[in-house]
Chain A
Amino acid sequence: MKFSVDLEKCQDHGQCVFAAPQFFALDANGKLNLRQEAETEYLSAELDESERDAVEEAADMCPVQAILIHD
Chain B
Amino acid sequence: MTISDTERPAAQCPIKLPTEPEIYEMYEERRPEGPILWDDGRGVWAVSSFELCEEVESDETRFARSDRFDVNDPATYELIKQMQGGARSLQLIVGEPHFKLHGGMSLALTRQVRANSAATKKLADEYLARLEGQVEFCSSFGELFPTAIITSVIGLPWVHDEEKLRLARQYTTDIGYAATNLDYTGEVYHRGITASAALSAMLRPDIEAMMVRDDRNMVAEIFRMGRELYDDWGLEDVLTQCRLLYFAGSNSSAHFLANIVYVLATNPQAWQRLDADRSLIPTYLEEILRVVPPVQARPRVAVVDTEVGGQKIATGDVLYLYNAAANREPERFHNPAFLDLDRKPRRHLAFNAGARACPGAPTARMEGRAVVEALLDRFERIELDPTKPAPVFVSELNAGYQPIHLIMTPRAGGDERPHAGAAMTHGSTTTPGETLAAAAAAAGCPFHQKGTEQ
What interface size band does chain A fall in?
Answer: 20 to 34
Interface string of A5-29 (1 = CB under 8 A from B): 0000101011101110000000000
Interface string of B305-348 (1 = CB under 8 A from A): 00000000000000000000000000000000000000001110
Closest 5 CB pairs of A and B: A68-B427, A64-B347, A18-B103, A63-B357, A59-B426
- Once A15-B106, A18-B106, A64-B347 are accepted as A-B contacts, the answer to whether A69 and B429 lie under 8 Å apart by CB is yes
- Once A11-B353, A13-B357 are accepted as A-B contacts, the answer to whether A56 and B426 lie under 8 Å apart by CB is yes
Q: Tell me if A's interface is mostly helix, strand, loop or mixed.
A: mixed
**Does B110 touch A at the CB level, under 8 Å?**
yes
User: In the docked arrangement, what's the CA distance between A21 and B429, Å?
Assistant: 23
User: In the docked arrangement, what's the CA distance between A9 and B332, Å?
Assistant: 12
**Does A41 touch B at the CB level, under 8 Å?**
no
Question: Which residue of chain B has the shortest Cβ distance to A19 in the bound complex?
Answer: B107
User: In the docked arrangement, what's the CA distance between A57 and B111, Å?
Assistant: 7
What interface size band does chain B fall in?
Answer: 20 to 34
Residues of chain A having any CB pair with chain B under 8 Å: 9, 11, 13-15, 17-19, 56-57, 59-61, 63-71
Question: Which residue of chain B has the shortest Cβ distance to A66 in the bound complex?
Answer: B347
User: In the docked arrangement, what's the CA distance between A57 and B345, Å?
Assistant: 19
In the bound complex, do residue A11 and residue B54 qualify as a contact, i.e. CB atoms below 8 Å apart? yes
**Does B287 touch A at the CB level, under 8 Å?**
no
Contact of A68 among B99, B347, B426 (CB under 8 A): B426
* Sampled A-B contacts (19; CB under 8 Å): A9-B347, A11-B54, A11-B347, A11-B353, A11-B354, A13-B357, A19-B110, A57-B114, A60-B110, A63-B357, A64-B347, A65-B282, A65-B345, A65-B347, A65-B427, A68-B427, A68-B428, A68-B429, A69-B431
Residues of chain B having any CB pair with chain A under 8 Å: 54, 58, 99, 103-104, 106-107, 110-111, 113-114, 282, 286, 345-347, 351-355, 357-359, 361-362, 426-432
**Which residues of chain B come closer than 8 Å to A17, judged between CB atoms?**
103
In the bound complex, do residue A61 and residue B106 qualify as a contact, i.e. CB atoms below 8 Å apart? yes
For the complex formed, measure the closest distance between the CB of B112 and the CB atoms of chain A, giving whole angstroms. 11
In the bound complex, do residue B54 and residue A69 qualify as a contact, i.e. CB atoms below 8 Å apart? no
Question: Which residue of chain A has the shortest Cβ distance to B345 in the bound complex?
Answer: A65
For the complex formed, measure the closest distance between the CB of B143 and the CB atoms of chain A, giving whole angstroms. 27
In the bound complex, do residue A61 and residue B431 qualify as a contact, i.e. CB atoms below 8 Å apart? no
Greatest chain A CB density within 10 A among B358, B361, B426 is at B426
In the bound complex, do residue A71 and residue B362 qualify as a contact, i.e. CB atoms below 8 Å apart? no
User: In the docked arrangement, what's the CA distance between A56 and B345, Å?
Assistant: 18
User: In the docked arrangement, what's the CA distance between A60 and B54, Å?
Assistant: 21
- Once A14-B99, A18-B107, A60-B362 are accepted as A-B contacts, the answer to whether A67 and B429 lie under 8 Å apart by CB is no
**Which residues of chain A come closer than 8 Å to B347, judged between CB atoms?**
9, 11, 64-66
Greatest chain B CB density within 10 A among A61, A69, A70 is at A61
